[in-house]
Structures are given as C-alpha cells and as structure tokens.
Amino acid sequence: MPTPAPVALITGISGQDGSYLAESLLADGYEVHGLVRNTTEENLRSLGTPERLMLHSVDLLAPDALEQVVREVKPDELYSLAAISSVAASWNDPVQTGAVNGQVVVRLLDAAHRLQEEHGHPVRLVHASSAEIFGQVAETPQVETTAIRPSSPYGASKAYAHLSVGVFRGRGLHASNTILYNHESPRRPEAFVTRKITAGVARISAGLQEGLELGNLDARRDWGWAPDYVNAMRLAASAPEAGDFIVATGISHTIGDFLDAAFGRVGIDDWSSLVSVNPAFVRPVDPAEQLGDATKARTELGWQPTVDFETLVARMVEHDLELLAR
Ligand code: NAP
C-alpha cells in the first residue's frame, strides 16, 4: 500500500503567502486544501489545476463552517493565513479586522484541538503572526519575548490570535506562531507601499505616470522575500517542538532606501522630483522601525533568508516592467 499523501489545509490560499505555500506543499507531494471566497483570484491561477489541490468556498465567519471543513479534511498541517492584512485597511474596519484576524484563528485552533482530542487525529497548526504585535517597540531588535503592545487594530487582532495560539499549545496542540516581518514579492498588491513603488517606478520609466505620492520616507522596515517566509512556516509545522518564531532578515532599510533601489533599477539616480510626501499617507502611530532577531528560527528551525534587499527590489521592479511590456 502506498503511503497516503500528507494533507495540508490553508486559509488565505489566494493571498501572496498562501499561493507560494500551496506551490511549495504541492511540489512536495502534499494534498492541499484551500479555503477561498473567490476562486478567480490571480494568485490561484498560478497554481494551475493539479489533482491534489482542492478549493473550498467557505465563509470563515459563518458559525460552524470552519469546524465542519476541518473535520472533513482532517489536515495533518493547518496554516492560518487569511487576514485583513494591511494596517491601513484595519483602521477602516477595526471590528471586521478583529473578527477575521482574531476570532477566526481561535475557531481554527478550537477545531484543530477538537479533531485531535475527540477524533484522535493530530494536527500541527501554524499561524501567520506579525511584527505589528510589538507596536511602538519596547526594544530593538525584537525577539520572541519582546513586550506585546500593538498600536493598530491590525496589531491588536494579531496579538489576540497570537496569544490564543499559546493558549492552545498549552492544551497540547502543536501550534506555532511565525512572527512575520514585512515580506514582499511580485504577488504583493499595490495597496502595499513596496509594490506601489515598484509598479509606479515601472510606469514612470515607461512615461505612463508622472510621480509617486507616499507617506513617511524615513520609516524603517525589515523586508524579506515572501517564499523564504513561507518556508519558515513549513519548518515550524515540522519542528519537534511548537513555539513562537521571529521570521526576519535582521537588516532594516528605510522607504527612501527602497526608492533608491527601485529607481536605480531603471537608471534613475535622483528621484527627488518624482516623489512627494502626502500627509494623508503618513500614519502617526506606525512604528518608526521594525527589526527582528530571527536567531531562534535559525537555530531551532534551521531557517535562513536566501534573498537580499537589493535582489528583492530588483525582482519586483523587473516583474512590473515585464507586466507593462506585455
Ligand atoms: P494577503 O496577500 O493580503 O492575503 C490575505 C488572504 O486572506 C487572502 O487569501 C484573502 O482572500 C484572505 N482574506 C482576507 N479577508 C478575508 C475574509 N474576510 N474571509 C476570507 N478570507 C479573507 O496577505 P499575505 O501577504 O499573503 O499575508 C499572509 C498572512 O501573513 C496574513 O495573515 C498577514 O496578516 C500575515 N503577515 C504578512 C506580512 C507580510 O509582510 N506579507 C507580515 C506579517 C504578517 P481574498 O483573496 O479573497 O481577499
């Protein structure tokens, strides 16, 4: 009898990370189940229609829907990625953000715990936590024990889910938090500043856009390559011990550095006349700097980032130039 394929269930499969995660799991022979609202999403198209990929249309907020799908699918690994994933969007709808990013994760934890306790099926759950749980950071760089004191509805919702993962871990569930710092790729939507910059730079270089309006150019972020961060989630799922793991490069850059790298890619060295600061995009309670220390992930999970900042920006700009050329 051939060994059955391991089964993974992903919420948020249509997002940047969900689509990379599904690709990675399918390549390793997993049966992958994804929960979706809209199966026409661009990122889902990149997955094709392999036999081992099953998409389930589920309203994450509908009572009992999650428990039912978890009971049916019986995942060995459960990845909780669905979220209102932008800080700006969370200010527009803090209540919905709490429901999707917080309550839904607790429902998943409860469903996984019940599957394990009542049906004897062990589940390993990984939650996409965020550097935003640290808010106005108490120390730099941040480590797993840095004080949790979020400064946005997004950060608060992630903190609730993050702490709940610890609660269910205490009840015997193999549940981990990957505390993700900003990670980017050509699959980032333009609602995020990095992609807004690379898409804008591509259009400016093609004469299709005059300039870019941005927020605080001095904000410092620790930016990594999305597929590396998805790899950290998989390593957390297969680790002997569940835990909380900072996933970061340990190097921060300003938005200005990002602009230097992006404009540099299209041969523009002085971008000062092409970029203006619009106060509407400046969010005063945003942390000035986020910088993660991923020593624990490196030593306990054997994780390391593989793509540096300049390469990451270059890949995004080149992708946006290609899109224009099509
Ligand atoms: P993303 O591209 O915005 O994807 C978010 C996913 O959540 C999408 O599949 C989206 O589905 C789904 N979703 C949102 N609201 C939903 C709702 N009400 N019901 C059902 N599904 C919903 O995010 P990402 O960049 O891949 O991030 C993955 C996870 O990592 C998120 O939890 C995010 O908060 C966390 N994280 C990301 C970063 C980062 O830098 N990327 C950093 C820290 C933490 P639709 O396609 O239908 O909208």
Extents of the domains making up the chain: 7-184+223-251+291-307, 193-219+253-290+312-325
100: confidence class by pLDDT, cuts 50, 70, 90: very high
Q: Catalytic: 164?
A: no
Q: Averaged over 55-77, what is the pLDDT?
A: 95
Going by C-alpha positions, the residue among 17, 22, 313, 45 that lies closest to residue 187 is 17
Q: Which of 59, 69, 81 to mutate to test the pocket of ligand 1 (most atoms within 8 A of CB)?
A: 81
Whether residue 44 is predicted with pLDDT greater than 80 in this model: the reply is no
Whether residue 41 is predicted with pLDDT greater than 90 in this model: the reply is no
DSSP symbol at 3: P
pLDDT digits (tens, 9 = 90+) for 136-173: 999 999 999 999 999 999 999 999 999 999 999 999 99
Cα–Cα distance measured from residue 294 to residue 146, given in angstroms and rounded to the nearest whole number: 13
Alpha carbon of 39 to ligand 1 centroid (Å): 15
Tokens of 324: 């224009």
Is the CB of residue 97 below 6 angstroms from any atom belonging to ligand 1?
no
Alpha carbon of 95 to ligand 1 centroid (Å): 16
Q: What is the pTM of this model?
A: 0.96
Alpha carbon of 43 to ligand 1 centroid (Å): 12
Q: What is the mean pLDDT of the chain?
A: 95
Q: Catalytic: 229?
A: no
Q: Averaged over 126-135, what is the pLDDT?
A: 98
CATH number of this structure's domain 7-184+223-251+291-307: 3.40.50.720
Candidate list 23, 132, 185, 252, residue with the active-site label: 132
CATH number of this structure's domain 193-219+253-290+312-325: 3.90.25.10
Is the CB of residue 100 below 6 angstroms from any atom belonging to ligand 1?
yes
